[in-house]
Amino acid sequence: MACSFDCASKLSSQVEQKLVFLYRLASGACPESYGMQIALMAGVPSSVVEAASKARQVMKEMVGESFKSSEHRENFSTLHEEWLKSVLSLSETAEVDFDNDDAFDSLFCLWHELKRSCKELT
């Protein structure tokens, strides 16, 4: 993060330093957190900042894994919905023609897809 100190003299004996960040605030997510640098600048001991940095990395990995798992469940739910629509469509066809081999072949393929998908979850 780019920043500088603007030195402004209040009195001849006192010097006031003002921290100036060289970026403007913008809406949206920041790709990186600068909390550790701010903590160091505020005088937090480096050992504390290092411990916090390690904890942050562990939490970041845990959240990443949780997000991937959640994303996989969402995709599975979408597949579930597609399969249900296919089964309902095939069941309407099967009511009309009980000797329709295409409908039974499609159901068999859907069954295999469900079985494979369930194995991937475990």
pLDDT in tens, 37-69: 888 889 999 999 999 989 888 888 877 776 666
Cα angle, residue 38 at apex, residues 33 and 40 outer, rounded to 5°: 120
pLDDT in tens, 22-39: 777 778 777 677 888 888
The domain locations on the chain are 36-121
Overall pTM surpassing 0.75 (yes/no): no
